[in-house]
Amino acid sequence: MTIELDGSSLTRSQVIQIACEGSDVSLSPEALVRVRRAADFLAEKVSCGEPVYGVTTGFGSNADKLLGAHRVRDELHGGSAGQRDGTTLLEELQHNLLITHAVCVGEPLAVDVVRAMLAIRINTLLRGHSGIRVSTLEALTALLNRNVIPVIPAKGSVGASGDLAPLSHLAIVLLGGGEAFVDGERVSGAEAIRRVGIEPIRLSFKEGLALNNGTTQMLATAVLALSRIENLLATADLAAAMTLDAFAGRSGALRPEVHALRPHPGQVETARHIRELLEGSTLVDIPYHLVPRFRSWTADAWSDPVEQERRFDIAWDYVPPPQRHGREAFYERYLPFKGGKKHQPQDAYCLRCMPQVHGAVRDAWEQACRIIDIELNSVTDNPLVFPDAENPRYIEDQVISAGHFHGMPLALAMSYVKAAIPVLASISERRLNKLVDPANNDGLPGFLIGNEDGTDSGFMIVQYTAAALVNDLATRAHPASVYSIPTSANAEDHVSMGTNEARHVLDMTDDLGHVLALELYTAAQALEYRQDMLNAARGLADRGDWKALAAKIGNAPREDHASHATFESEIRALMKALTNAGEFHAGVAVRKAHAKIRESIDFMQRDRAMDGDIRSICALVSSNVLIADLS
């Protein structure tokens, strides 16, 4: 697929197609007319001898230096007047800008980041306010379409004047400098362009500035990060739904009339999405008295040979009539059996407040998307060229020095997202912790393992890893954008640090995905226990033998006790309620996701090596397999 770039309509999804799926780009003919007009305008002004920042003057703190017709040193020593290897001072200014600014350090940016940078840079230059020539823009496009990936070390931009250093690494390959990857091989820039048939270019007026002055790295990184976060928000909702099903939790906090009273968009959408994922569940809002609690398996727990294969026993406690005083109304609605569910109408915050927490993160993501969508079709270099300005009196009316290279709009948006990431990870870890804690998991086994021999740790240490990741994310969430360090001898005395911000966010998405994967891994085990325990209780009830079910009840009165007849009547009512309930199962979407997990990760009946399971669940999350086609 080829995507036409025109400077005005590039979308985040198109950037992802170009960056991650290898789509080529073409250049809009209408946009190229604008590009040519601006380049011709600059050439005319230079020929007239008018001073233009970054064209006939130095850059940054050298802006007060006007370029002469020739080099002073050459004149003093009888050298050629303004020529060295056929290069004019104006050309050398642009050339030197790139070769002296390519000073980043660290590991090379990933291929998808660099491809996104190339697409974004081409698109902004197509607006026709940068002064670049069509031929140079076509050469930049050839790099992308022939999959020449400039080597750009990750660190070195302060986010104003744009991403000068990394963009210089990107553009220097067009000159035959630097390094690039071609077919996965790292070679010199000269060798890279030779292999794909691109001739090295000589830069004209302002082309160095046009190529390296803009918010391109931070924007490309932000687009990729926001794409990942969009998928992780869907994954977080899925993990939350599976956990709520595993708890046989309450859905009242998800109801639309509740959120209509506090209609933050992300909150409303999260509640709607989790309701959709839970649709068809017979676990959520289940009556308290139907839910048994886990009891360790024993040899005499089940009488049927098939039942002996179960990995658990189940139990309830009976509430005798004398202990119901003052609670008669409750026991008219619910039978007097205490199992796995506490008699309370609300779940813990990590379950009840999922719309508020996930929704706030979703709102942070939406705000960042709004900023990024504007930036994708903006001009971010300097100075800005307005060849068609009406009634210009001075060159400053048509070549205007401004500050669109300043990355603060993106930096603050990504700071918001950066702070939101550990929040989403934290509530996920709290749900995971609740699942494994026998004091808080509503009747599930401790650490989600039978452990009848006392030898098994189960999912205990999974929570440790999640806790470590959440702590790591929290320590990385400090905003880079609040700490400006002046550059260029204080000519650039306030910078955004937005490139660091976006890079941090992209890196943090990996660990957010890992935390959510660990919750899903744990919730799948818990859900299976919950369903199997409830369906085992239903199987007992289906026998029609109330005494078989009564054998699972603690605190039952003796047969000769006065309340025994009442107990028998109530246990028969429990038996009927279980039989009439039908099969117990999670919501349709949750069941689909659970089945996908079980394709590669088996239920853990006894301790086993878990490292392969962890790799598998993390791969399932990173590939977005679990959230595909869940409607």
Q: Which domain holds residue 352?
A: 233-361+425-622
**Structural domain count of the chain:** 2
CB 534 within 8 A of CB 584: yes
- Does this model's pTM top 0.85? yes
Instruction: Return the pLDDT at 82.
Output: 43
d(CA 229, CA 365): 8
Report yes or no on 224 lying in a domain: no
Report yes or no on 366 lying in a domain: no
Q: What is the CATH number of the domain that holds 31?
A: 1.10.275.10
pLDDT at 508 over 90: yes
Phi, psi of 66 (to 5 degrees): -85, 135
CB 405 within 8 A of CB 161: yes
Q: Domain ends where: 167, 187, 214? A: 214
Do 173 and 253 lie in a common domain?
no
Q: Domain ends where: 214, 245, 269? A: 214
Do 137 and 237 lie in a common domain?
no
Do 587 and 484 lie in a common domain?
yes
Q: Domain ends where: 214, 246, 270? A: 214
What is the arithmetic mean of pLDDT over 173-197? 98
**Residue 336, SS3?**
coil
If you compute the radius of gyration of the chain from its CA atoms, what whole number of angstroms results? 33
Do 285 and 208 lie in a common domain?
no
How far CA 480 is from CA of 224, 403, 487, 502, in Å, comes to 19, 20, 16, 9
Do 22 and 109 lie in a common domain?
yes
Instruction: Return the pLDDT at 61.
Output: 65
Instruction: Return the pLDDT at 631.
Output: 58
For the annotated catalytic residues, the residue numbers are 53
d(CA 312, CA 17): 49
Do 104 and 159 lie in a common domain?
yes
What is the arithmetic mean of pLDDT over 387-399? 87
Instruction: Return the pLDDT at 499.
Output: 98
What is the arithmetic mean of pLDDT over 257-285? 98
Report yes or no on 611 lying in a domain: yes
Do 208 and 288 lie in a common domain?
no
Spatial CA neighbour of 409 closest among 377, 367, 353, 463: 367
What is the arithmetic mean of pLDDT over 238-261? 98
Report yes or no on 10 lying in a domain: yes
Confidence of residue 199 (pLDDT cuts 50, 70, 90): very high
Instruction: Return the pLDDT at 396.
Output: 84
Do 175 and 248 lie in a common domain?
no
Instruction: Return the pLDDT at 63.
Output: 66
Report yes or no on 206 lying in a domain: yes
Do 177 and 278 lie in a common domain?
no
Mean predicted lDDT score pLDDT of the chain:
94
Quick: pLDDT tens for 532-591: 999 999 999 999 999 999 999 999 999 888 889 999 999 999 999 999 999 999 999 999
Quick: pLDDT tens for 294-349: 999 999 999 888 888 898 999 999 999 999 999 889 998 999 999 999 888 889 99
Quick: pLDDT tens for 513-535: 999 999 999 999 999 999 999 99
251 DSSP assignment: -
Spatial CA neighbour of 327 closest among 288, 285, 292, 282: 288
Instruction: Return the pLDDT at 91.
Output: 84
Strand segments, DSSP code E, in 386-500 are 399-400
Report yes or no on 405 lying in a domain: no
Token pair of 2 as six digits:
């080829």
Confidence of residue 395 (pLDDT cuts 50, 70, 90): confident
* 389/284: higher pLDDT: 284
Do 197 and 246 lie in a common domain?
no
Q: What is the CATH number of the domain that holds 523?
A: 1.20.200.10
d(CA 337, CA 317): 6
Do 548 and 496 lie in a common domain?
yes
Instruction: Return the pLDDT at 81.
Output: 43
Quick: pLDDT tens for 39-90: 999 888 888 777 777 777 776 667 667 776 566 666 555 544 444 566 788 8
* 79/376: higher pLDDT: 376
Do 194 and 283 lie in a common domain?
no
Report yes or no on 419 lying in a domain: no
Report yes or no on 416 lying in a domain: no
Residue with tokens 């205490």: 338
- Residue percentage of the chain with pLDDT more than 90: 83
